[in-house]
Every structure is written in structure tokens, then in C-alpha cells.
Structure 1
Amino acid sequence: MEPSSSTTAETLLAVDAPSKSYPNPTLPSPTIVLHPRREPFEHGLLPIPKLIFTDGTLTLTSIKQKILNTATKPSQITSSVLAEVVDIPIDQAVLVIDTLVSVLPQLSPQRTDEDEEGVVDVNDLMLFLYIQSYKRLLTRTHKDSATVTDVWPSTSVFDGVLSTLSPLQLVRSNTRRLMPSQVDEEAHQLSYLNKHIANMLSLLAESVEGEGDESMVLSLERFEHLGFLIHFRENGSKRVQLSQISPFFANSDPDMPAAPVSITQIHEWLQQNINASLDYITENISAKENITQPVLDVDVTMSDACNSHVKGPFGSDHANSRSLTFVEGVSKASVFRHGDDIKGSIVKVSHCHDSVIYILAPLRYVTVYGCSDTTIVLGAIGKAVRIEHCERVHIIAACKRICIANCRECIFYLGVNQRPLILGDNHKLQVAPYNTFYTQLNEHMNEVNVHATINKWNEPLILGMIDPHDSLSHPAGVSDVQAESATCLDPELFTNFLIPNLLKAESKKPTKENPFSLPEEYNTSLRKQVRHLLFH
């Protein structure tokens, strides 16, 4: 039965009228829905103890004031200013600024000079520092205790639930079914925002004459900084500008800006929308739990793996509505993904074994999780790459930045503009310069601002083994130690990787060689290999 016009209007009240009650969860989904931005939570958390504040806004308010007193402009906060105010080493301050830039909604700005300092706005920085208190969602407990006792290579005091299983064991034991789904994680992020949004608003607010909460207001410009953490989508896909969806600043004339709004009103409106989203997600999760999930075969076919997707809330395909492309559960196969095959600019590769995966497209974010004995070739990634819980994997990537966590016996062939970040419980990692190309590589790199003139593949930045953002309680008395670093691959073992040209892609200026220059010792090794082939 078609809903009546009055029912439809009531459903939309979560967006249009903050003074009304929340929509009834039994009604059809609203056409415009609030979502958390996943990127800050997935790529923006840093295990730096001095950046984790547990006193709400008390310390951060003081830090903000000191930064404003030190910086020449509130929109020009540099790593040197941050290092001085927060009292952290300059390399960690650079990491903070670069990480924040990588998770902002807009594409990273052009920086062709590797010594040039990145700059961020103080309001974005405050929100970024606040969410360092976020705790990731725990993996559900495994029902088969025998499965989790088969550890590799041994149990460590630093190991979490997932790091006690090798990636291959994760696939064979179906442990990936116990991992939080996209819907679970979104609900967890929304709950965090629901609890802390009042504090976040106070960090953005400015004081005016008045009494109590009415003296704290947000201008349109400061309100739009909330777009760092949330966004609205219409009909599951089209993103709606934050200021245009709010009842406070919609249709605001740039020549006559809207008056600042009390954070009390904004908080009430945001909480209503967050609760409306949580209601629908909760209903969706409950429905899923009542359906028996099929057991996934280890040797899943290539077509099944590549076309897999996650069913999401609000009656739409979650992967499609959030512009995510998944390559999951591939075993003993080769998978090619080009630009036309990928929806959006975010790709997640997970639980692939004994395979070769090609993702040849310009992207913003890539996550590789729980893979083993696999070669993964990534195109140009303009924001961030995260490699986690992988074993005996070769990663080839041209990217702005990369984070490696809890991996073992992996080799990373990198063309990377920022220092590779290594953290967690790693063993026997190796790094090497970038070693391949494909026809559209230069075009893709230009599109996402990855620069071939800067390659910091051999300058890893090492942080601690304990991740304060996981929800596990670490053993009492265990202090954090620096993670194991990566060694440079022996030049004698370095080879070029040839990508099959299965797709005759056209380019105005086709890439005909590796765009990243090689150190002399690696060039010498390649020349020796060529001579050996010619004369033997």
C-alpha cells in the first residue's frame, strides 16, 4: 500500500523540523538520512597517547586557545605550531597534520615540495583530536574456542582477538562472519557521535552576549565543519550539502549570511537525526539476525567474490549507497578491476588467499584486510591506504600515504608521498621502491594528486604496538613499545612487475615506464638481470 502524504511528511520530520518527535521506525525510510563519515574513524585514528583526551573538552579547549594565540591565522595551523602547543615531536606533529588532511572531505591539496608544511583549520583539528578517544567495535566472540586457540606463530601480550588468527585461518574458520559488518560499524559510530556531539559543538562554538547555552552559537562557516564527521544522503546515494539540509542555514545568501544559531538548537536537531538513523539501523540489524546466514566456501568463485556486497540499512544496498566497492573472499584466482568496474572512490579488499588482485583506478581510499599469499596491485590512491592483518602479501601501490598494521612477512613496493606509518604487532616486513606501471597510471596519479617526484618508501615512521583505539583491555602492567620496523628489500631480489594489458585502455599520454625513479642500487640490479637474460 502506498503511504499517504501525511505519513510521508511525518517520516521526513527528522530532517525538516527538530521540534517534532522522532519518526516511527515502522514507517518507510526517510528519503534524506544522516550518515557518519567513515573515513576519520577508519583512517584517522593515531596511537599517540598525548593526543587522547579523556576529560571531554577541558584540555582541548585550552589547547585550542593556545593554538589561536600562537598561529597567525586560525585556518593556517602548521605542524610546528601543533608540536609546540601539544608538546609532541615534530615528526608526530607532521603525521597528525598529514593524517587530518587525508581524512578531510575534500581532495588533498597540491604539495609538490616535500619540505612544505601542511596546514589545517583549527576547527577541523579540534574535531580530529576529539575523536582520538574513539574505541573501535569489538569482534563478536567466537563460539568455537578450539578455533581461536590455534594461534600463529604464538600468542603475544599485544595480540587482539583478530591477530591471534592468521588471515588464512580467518578464511577457513569463517571467523570473518564474526567481524563487525558495515552496518554494525556505522551504528557504533553513530552511537559515539550521539554521545559526544554536544562536546564537539562546544569546541566549534563562539561566545556572544546572552545567558547559559544561548550564549554559545555557531555561524554557517563553523557549522559546515561538522561535514568532517557527518553527511546526509538523499535516496541512499546523492549527497546533500550540510548547510542546505539544516533548517537553520538552508538557502542562505552568501551576500547576507544567516545569523549564528544557538548550539542548543543545533544539538537538538542533530540528535534527532542521529536517533532516527540509529532506529533504522537497529531494525535492519535485528532483521538480519533472524535470517540464517549461508556458510561461505573457502574456494569462492571469482565472480561471486567480486560481485559480493553488503546489504545496508534504509532499504538500499549499503555498498552502493555509500560508494564502496568490495573484493572479498577470492581464493586461487586473478581479479581485474578497472575504473569502469568500480563504484565510487573507496575499495575494500578482504580475506583473499593465494590470488592476484588488480585494482587499476584512481581512488581516494583503499583498505586491505586479512589477506594471505596474495599480490595486490593498486592504482593511484590520493588519500590513504591501510593494510592490516595480512600475511605473506605483496602490495604494489602509488599513493599519497600508507598505514601498515599487524602484518607478517609482507613486501611493500611503494611510490608514496608521505612516510609509511607502521604500527602494531608486525614481523619481517620489507619495503621496496615502486616497480610497475600501466597505461593510465600517470593520468590516474595526476587526477588524485600523487606525485612521482616524491617517494618516501624507505623512510617509515614507527609508532607503538598497543592500539589505544581498540576496545580490548590490555594486560595489566604491559607498557607500550615501539613496533618492529621494516627492512629494505635486497636490491638483488628486486624485479619489475609486469601488469597484463587485458583492457586496451586509451590515454592521451600513455604511461610507458615506471614514473618513480629508482635508487641506483636497484637500477643496477635490474640491469644485471637484463644482461643475464640476454646472454644466457
Structure 2
Amino acid sequence: MADPIEPSTSSSDPNSIPIPTTILHPRREPFEHGLLTIQKLIFNDPVQALTPLKQKFASPSTQRVDSAALAELLQISFDHSRLVLETLASVLHSESDPLVTALPDDVDSIGADLRDLILFLYIQSYKRLLPRSHKDSAAVADVWPSMSAFDGYLSALSPLQLVRSNSRRFMPSQADEEAHQLSYLQKHLANILSLLSEHVEGESEESLVLNMEGFEHLGFLIQFGDKGSGGVPLSQAAPFFANSDPDMPAAPVPVSQVHDWLLQTIASSLESITEKVSAKENGSPSGSDQDIAMADASPSSAKASPTARSPCFVEGVSKSSYVKQASDLKSSSVKVINCHDSTIYILAPLRYAIIYGCSDATIVLGAVGKVSLPLCC
């Protein structure tokens, strides 16, 4: 029988663990584009529901899960399990995962990495941030659907009402959404780590440990810095795995130590984001969250966010045509919001596109990985 894995001997005292100065961000992709409207995937107790999946595929030789096995284990249809794998592939953090580049006919044979799949299924219970209340909500509801079951935070205004009211004041900003997502992760962190951890036998009280590979899979949910702008690899930001020798992997770390460090890091990031939101509400908006003045409905009201993390917005276009070329976009995702009786061309390759609150509009997209069309008619 092989000797048990020895956990790291680093102190689990949270006061001895340095907190990184770089802000921890939730990844927008799984929270914004990875939630499915499949009722059987919303678990009352995710740990209880997902532990059998972990136990069945935990051995090193079977750590990828195909559609048939997933359908059988979760008691969902094969089509739904296939949709799970395809959606997971579209929001994965690792471009090197074979599922990302798999051809449609090969998705089932390749399957999903067990740890990524567990994280993806866990966050299906996440509830999006609701919009701020509108001062004339009754009048708004008379004209335009007040809420979408698909996207809980959608604008409640019609395109013409958007022109008059600057509805993005009532939609959660990027900072609001990040704070909400980090708070969710903060609340569920212990459960998430337990599902990624390994049990080791021995005299130590720390029977649950997390190895570096398992820790890096948390990159599906969180990241340091901005993707595409010099972000810090997750394992290099953690003091217990930083500067590890690739030829000699770091020893597994007690889950309690990882939990304490991440809780402190999330709390520090939440404090920073809260200060950002407060500054905006006090009249000092940041570049990426600044509200768009919608004095009139014209193509000039559309705005591209300046950072790689922020989607490009095309908003409030009415009775006109509008074109965006690849050179106009600084992001791989776009949101077309509350456009009416218009023709809009987004002529650039995209990973994600969300089109909502639009009516009587023709919207032409180039190559795109995933499209959502809630609240459109």
C-alpha cells in the first residue's frame, strides 16, 4: 500500500499568510454565460448532490466525465447533459483543455474534467443580482416586461423609456456584479474546497488537503488581475504554492489553510470594490462603470468599455443603423441593450454576445462562441 500523501507543514495561522496586493476578481464568463435554465441542476444541497459524482470519477484514470455518465448520475436527459458539456467548454478558463477545441462529434468521447464540471454544476444555484428599483416601476411594467426568467438583472425599460431615463443607473454595474459574485463565493467557499479536496490518512488532524493542480482549477471561478492584461497565475499568487518547482510539485496543503487565505483575500477585494462603488455613487465613477448618458437614441450613445474584462455595450439605438468593426472593440464580448427598429452590425469575432430588451431590430453578428437573447421580441 502506498504511503499517504504528506500535507504541507506550513502554519495554518491566517495571520502568517500574506495577502496579495492584486485584487481578486470573479471570472465573468461562468457567472454571466454559464448558467443554464435546467431545474434539475439547481441543487438545494450542492455538496450532497455532487459528492457521488466526485466519488465515481475521482480515480486518476477516470477524471473526465462524458455526457452519458453525467446524464445517468444526475438523472437528466442526454441532450441536457450534452448541453452542460458544450456550455462548460464555452466558459472554461484553460484554453489548453481538450474540450475547448473539441469538434462537436468528439465532445462525448473527450468529456469534461471532473473538477471543472463540479465547479460548473455548483454555481448553477447562483442567483444573479437584481436591478435597482425604478422610481416609476408600475409605468415601466405596463410597457415592457419587468423581468426575464433567464437574466434576473435585465433592464425593465423599453427602448424609448431607456432614452429618457438612462436605465443603466438601475442595472448593476460591473463592480456591483463582482461584489455580488465574490460574496457568493465567500459564502460557499468551504463547500467548494471540500469538493476539490482529497482525503489523506494519517495522524494529522488535517485529513482534507488540496494539491496544486486542484487549486489551479479554482481559476474557473476566480482570477488575480485582468485576463489578457498581465494577470497573475492563481498558484503563483498563493504563498503555499508560489515558486514551486515544476519537476517537484508542491506538497498538498491543508484545506483549512487554503480556506483562511482565500477568505482574507476575498474580504480584501470586497473592501476595495466597495470603495469603488461608493466613489461612483458619490459622483466619481470609474472609466469601466461610468453610466452612459442617453439624451437621445442615436448610434453615438453606444459605448465600448475600455478594459479587457468589460464587455462592449451597444445601447439605445433607435430607428437607425449602426456598425462596429473588429478595430472598434476592446473586448471579446458584447451586449446589445434596448435597441429598437434598427439594423446593427457587429462585424468582429466574439466569444460571447448578449442581446436583450430589443424589438423590431435586425442584429448581424460575426463568428461568435455563444449568444443569449433574453427579453427580445
TM-score by length of 1: 0.60
* Contact 1:31–1:234 (Cα < 8 Å) also in 2: no
* Cα gap change, 1:134 to 1:207, in 2 (>3 Å): same
Aligned with residue 338 of structure 1, among 296, 306, 325 = 325
Q: Deviations over 1:399-418 (max 9, x none)?
A: xxxxxxxxx2xxxxxxxxxx
Shift of 1:160: 7.1
Partner-residue secondary structure (3-state), 1:320: coil
* Cα gap change, 1:174 to 1:154, in 2 (>3 Å): closer
* Cα gap change, 1:253 to 1:39, in 2 (>3 Å): same
RMSD: 3.3
Residue 418 (structure 1) aligns with: none
Residue 280 (structure 1) aligns with: 272
* Cα gap change, 1:66 to 1:137, in 2 (>3 Å): same
Aligned partner letter, 2:15:
S
Residue 305 (structure 1) aligns with: 302
1: CA distance between counterparts of 2:213 and 2:17?
28
Aligned with residue 32 of structure 1, among 22, 29, 32 = 22
* Contact 1:369–1:387 (Cα < 8 Å) also in 2: yes
Aligned partner letter, 1:387:
L
Richer in helix (by share): 2
Residues 1:46 and 2:42 are matched in the alignment: no
Residue 237 (structure 1) aligns with: 229
Aligned partner letter, 2:91:
V
* Contact 1:167–1:389 (Cα < 8 Å) also in 2: no
* Cα gap change, 1:155 to 1:288, in 2 (>3 Å): closer
Aligned with residue 199 of structure 1, among 167, 171, 191 = 191
Q: Deviations over 1:33-57 (max 9, x none)?
A: 2100011111111122221222241
* Contact 1:35–1:232 (Cα < 8 Å) also in 2: yes
Residues 1:360 and 2:347 are matched in the alignment: yes
Residue 250 (structure 1) aligns with: 242
Alignment of 1:35-434 (within 5 A): 35-68=25-58, 73-74=62-63, 76-107=64-95, 108-111=100-103, 113=105, 117=109, 119-152=111-144, 166-210=158-202, 214-233=206-225, 237-291=229-283, 296-297=293-294, 299-307=296-304, 309=305, 319-382=306-369, 384-390=370-376, 408=377
Partner-residue secondary structure (3-state), 1:101: helix
- The number of residue pairs the alignment matches comes to 356
1: CA distance between counterparts of 2:107 and 2:14?
47
Partner-residue secondary structure (3-state), 1:227: helix
Residues 1:19 and 2:44 are matched in the alignment: no
Shift of 1:304: 4.1
* Cα gap change, 1:228 to 1:348, in 2 (>3 Å): same
2: CA distance between counterparts of 1:290 and 1:124?
40
2: CA distance between counterparts of 1:153 and 1:207?
50
2: CA distance between counterparts of 1:73 and 1:334?
52
Residue 10 (structure 2) aligns with: none
Partner-residue secondary structure (3-state), 1:256: coil
* Contact 2:299–2:321 (Cα < 8 Å) also in 1: yes
1: CA distance between counterparts of 2:107 and 2:250?
40
Q: Deviations over 1:314-361 (max 9, x none)?
A: xxxxx4152532222333333322222211312222222333222112
Shift of 1:72: 5.7
Q: Deviations over 1:372-395 (max 9, x none)?
A: 33221111113x1112212xxxxx
* Cα gap change, 1:246 to 1:295, in 2 (>3 Å): closer
Shift of 1:235: 11
Q: Deviations over 1:292-332 (max 9, x none)?
A: 9988335244334235x4xxxxxxxxx41525322223333
Shift of 1:272: 1.2
Aligned partner letter, 2:276:
N
2: CA distance between counterparts of 1:116 and 1:189?
31
* Cα gap change, 1:386 to 1:193, in 2 (>3 Å): same
* Cα gap change, 1:212 to 1:387, in 2 (>3 Å): farther
TM-score by length of 2: 0.83
2: CA distance between counterparts of 1:104 and 1:126?
12
User: Where in structure 2 are there 5+ consecutive unaligned residues?
Assistant: 1-12, 285-289
2: CA distance between counterparts of 1:236 and 1:19?
32
2: CA distance between counterparts of 1:199 and 1:321?
31
Shift of 1:115: 8.0
* Cα gap change, 1:362 to 1:268, in 2 (>3 Å): same
* Contact 2:335–2:354 (Cα < 8 Å) also in 1: yes
Q: Deviations over 1:107-143 (max 9, x none)?
A: 4213053785551011111111111111111111122
* Cα gap change, 1:330 to 1:306, in 2 (>3 Å): farther
1: CA distance between counterparts of 2:78 and 2:294?
48
2: CA distance between counterparts of 1:153 and 1:136?
18
Residue 395 (structure 1) aligns with: none
1: CA distance between counterparts of 2:319 and 2:46?
49
Runs of 4+ deviating beyond 6 Å: 153-161, 292-295
